[in-house]
Structure 1
């Protein structure tokens, strides 16, 4: 056999094996056990319908029947784990101070009106609940609701305390945690490997690279949740007329590379859930589910519920 024929047969065998394993990953990998599956995910509790990350927002989303609450955690000066997105209080409370420099008892209340981060020129006005809650309060109020925790800063004490709370409230089977930072995710996994972790940004890039080289079916993955943006929504968050040609190209390229049904289907077959964020329009809900995403994260839980009801996507209780 000539060298050329040998190389060709080897490459052909690799391609066919990769294609087979992409479709049938269970031939090589044991499917991860799913203790819950979330199709309807409320971003910051539903930041377009109530003040973000408040108990009022979480209660509203849970009453609607959301499958999962997404929230963010920081540590106060007196080492209390609070549910808050920004490290500085300026945007949310009007007080320019870092959360790590303020004791919990002295935290100011939320402003009456906040912008919706993922909906251009939209604001939400809150009711009576302007209280920044403790993570403990959320766990106590919703003991059976899956919660997605974004560890906002690389702080060993924060990671340790969140893990201790998850264990105390017996929520290891109902919690996923992580961050875009690979260092934070690694620390989370080391602190408590029983709590499923998200793909960090570097791991997402690696995942995409493995997918396009055909190597993904052969590689074991410790993560159980892929949580990625839909890049095309950038044109809704910014005025397209103010985007440069380069920015539009990068958005198109990122969208083309990430939003792949074959990738989503492969991960789902391996027991890895795929969440697309943060989507606030019906056309984006539809695209995500059509691509095979297992869940959509939204600021408008009522709108997403209505869409899922209309399209027969709600889980039977």
Structure 2
């Protein structure tokens, strides 16, 4: 085979590598940078599930009062088509009930257990003295926190649930300060199709595609509809009780995930495109320190008071007003 036969493909491959590298560093040469209407570094997971009963109005108020800049919450739909704020569809864990929320009318929903296990802390229990153990309506939350950024996880691929959430977001004029999605990319796709103006989370399929695009060098060339990448760290997941006795293969997979995906070079590229990076659910100073060192945009926690104190001491904080309406 002639030298020319080798030279042409090598030249093409070399040109591809150079262009990909340049665009990875300067993505706005071909992509319009996304603009967010708010800046949230401190995010209360379920309102701060370790300090107050998760997803309650009391938890959300407490988180806001101590300086959290965003609330994370989850939505379900009841039998009588009410959109409620709850992580689990089944009532057993949070309320001790033996029924699904989707099979229960809103007025029949039980109150939450006390104490209540904190999902992302081994052995952690919420023993708040608050009497508020009520599962709220999403409309109640939107009324109380009308100008406050909210990260909203639609927990089921249900048309009535998806449409109900989007209708409420539009009714309360929250299109620019509500981030919506789920790990199920089908839910995100439906949200984006129905309301493309609402900021979207990366789903699991989109995250996998992001990984493939990154390590093939194609990422700089591909447009992304999502505006927020919210992922756990491998170190967080391996510390949870359900992975303590996991196989060597699982532990290896977690280390590999962390090594390949929790990478500052990837985060910087996405941030240059205006995509925010949030890590969850980080409940220790070790994880908070790591997140800050990685240069993420926000940290999601069950311990908002502790996170606020830690971040104030480290200088990882924002202004008292997270809204950026007048800065764009």
Taking structure 2 as the reference length, the TM-score comes to: 0.94
User: Aligned partners of 1:307 and 1:103: how far apart in 2?
Assistant: 42
Question: How far 1:64 moved relative to its partner?
Answer: 1.0
Please list, as runs of the form range in 1=range in 2, the aligned pairs for 1:203-214 lying within 5 A after superposition: 203-214=206-217
RMSD of aligned alpha carbons: 1.2
Match of 2:230 in 1: 227
Task: Work out whether 1:104 is the aligned partner of 2:100.
Answer: no
Structure 1 segments of 4 or more deviating over 3 A? none
Match of 2:30 in 1: 28
Q: Do the aligned residues in 1 keep the contact of 2:238 with 2:244 (CA within 8 Å)?
A: no
Match of 2:44 in 1: 42
User: Aligned partners of 2:168 and 2:242: how far apart in 1?
Assistant: 42
What SS does structure 2 have at the residue aligned with 1:117?
Answer: coil
Task: Work out whether 1:136 is the aligned partner of 2:164.
Answer: no
Match of 1:84 in 2: 86
Uncovered stretches (5+) of structure 1, i.e. residues with no partner: none
Q: Deviations along 1:248-282, whole A, 9 cap, x unmatched? A: 10111111121010110000110000111111111
User: Aligned partners of 2:286 and 2:298: how far apart in 1?
Assistant: 15
Residue 197 to residue 6, structure 1, CA distance change in 2 (3 Å): same
Please list, as runs of the form range in 1=range in 2, the aligned pairs for 1:117-132 lying within 5 A after superposition: 117-126=119-128, 127-132=130-135
Match of 2:118 in 1: 116
1:52 to 29, 51, 54: 54
What SS does structure 1 have at the residue aligned with 2:282?
Answer: coil
Question: How far 1:196 moved relative to its partner?
Answer: 1.1
Taking structure 1 as the reference length, the TM-score comes to: 0.97
Match of 2:221 in 1: 218
User: Aligned partners of 1:286 and 1:215: how far apart in 2?
Assistant: 31
Match of 2:21 in 1: 19
Task: Work out whether 1:158 is the aligned partner of 2:181.
Answer: no
Q: Deviations along 1:217-254, whole A, 9 cap, x unmatched? A: 00000110111111211232127762321121011111
Match of 2:277 in 1: 274
Q: Deviations along 1:69-120, whole A, 9 cap, x unmatched? A: 0000000111000000101011111111100111111111111111110000
Q: Do the aligned residues in 2 keep the contact of 1:37 with 1:273 (CA within 8 Å)?
A: no
